[in-house]
Amino acid sequence: PIDFDSIDDMPVSVVFVVLSASDKPSLQLKTLTSLAKILKKSNTEHFFNKSPQEIKDYLKTLQEDEQN
């Protein structure tokens, strides 16, 4: 966990950054919606102490499962 200067003074274990082109705000909203759905369904412990590639692979698997 890191000190993220959160309003509840609790340490932060997971941080997501969403970047998109400024001329495509709908892409940002779509990405945030997908992320919220994934986090609601999954155990966030899967994101702790993982490499970026492991997290990417896990998210891809969840997305594929959602589409099937």
Q: What is the mean pLDDT of residues 54-62?
A: 84
Confidence class for position 14, pLDDT limits 50, 70, 90: confident
DSSP assigned state of 7: T
Q: What is the pTM of this model?
A: 0.56
pLDDT at residue 13, rounded to an integer: 77
pLDDT in tens, 17-56: 888 888 988 988 988 888 888 778 777 777 777 888 998 8
pLDDT at residue 53, rounded to an integer: 92
Cα→Cα distances 23→9, 26, 49, Å: 35, 9, 34
Please state the domain extents for the chain: 1-68
pLDDT at residue 43, rounded to an integer: 74
